[in-house]
Amino acid sequence: MPLYHNETILQQPVQLSELADRYAAQARQFIQQQAQRGEPFFLYLPFSHVHQLCAPKDLPEQEYCQWTADPSSITFDDAVEEMDWIAGQVIDALHESGVASNTLVLFTSDNGP
């Protein structure tokens, strides 16, 4: 399965272990670019983490979470924690770009894994 940006294939096959980084980086870049334009924008950032579990990125250790790169021990909790990290990256980008106070952020979910 390829990874696309608009009509351009970025990676084929997609490396699922790198997908979270790509999502976070692209979202941050988009927010920065749109903030510089000074116009309203819409960012839709869907996640497949909990539906298709893969090894989470090595993140700074949290007291409530132990990270592992061993695919046999990947858990639903790891996937949710990584989504939380990406959401934090997006919120940080909003603050760093100076648009957080004029931004509405919505989190929604489907009916589970």
Residue 64 pLDDT: 43
* Model confidence, pTM: 0.72
pLDDT tens profile 46-87: 877 666 655 555 555 554 445 555 555 556 677 777 888 889
Query: What does the H/E/C string look like for the chain?
Result: CCEEECCEEEECCCCHHHHHHHHHHHHHHHHHHHHHHCCCCCCCCCCCCCCCCCCCCCCCCECCECCCCCHHHCCHHHHHHHHHHHHHHHHHHHHHCCCHHHCCCCCCCCCCC
pLDDT tens profile 32-49: 999 999 999 999 988 776
